[in-house]
Amino acid sequence: MAFGKDWQGSVRIVLSPYGSETRPAMTVVAHLYADEKAAMGAKPLASASVSLDGGGAGALSAAALSALYELDKEIYRREIGVSPPRR
């Protein structure tokens, strides 16, 4: 909630599992929306994601914080007019 307040919007973190039973993995995506109503179907203002391969609850918390950090960098890039890095 603090991140959303800082960015004057609403933040949603989405977890998407993939992989197999023996090698579970997850994508953690952080989205920034203009407000709570926009989060119910509008396109996000910015997004960032990270992958999580295995790990416990601590790893999930770290991945969520990492996704928020990546989102912070994306918002900063957009505010100063720098294009995102090519991958």
pLDDT in tens, 8-56: 899 999 999 998 888 889 999 999 998 877 767 788 999 999 999 877 7
Indicate if the pLDDT at residue 87 is higher than 60: no
Which of 33, 36, 26, 35 lies closest to 66 in space, CA to CA? Answer: 26
Q: From CA 35, how far away is CA 39, in angstroms rounded?
A: 7
Of 78 and 28, the structure prediction assigns the larger pLDDT to 28
Per residue in 61-72, pLDDT (tens digit) is: 899 999 999 999
Give the whole-angstrom CA distance, residue 27 versus residue 15.
6
Question: Can you give the pLDDT at residue 1?
Answer: 83
Q: How far apart are CA 38 and CA 2, in angstroms?
A: 18
* Boundaries of every domain in the chain: 2-80
pTM above 0.85, yes or no: no
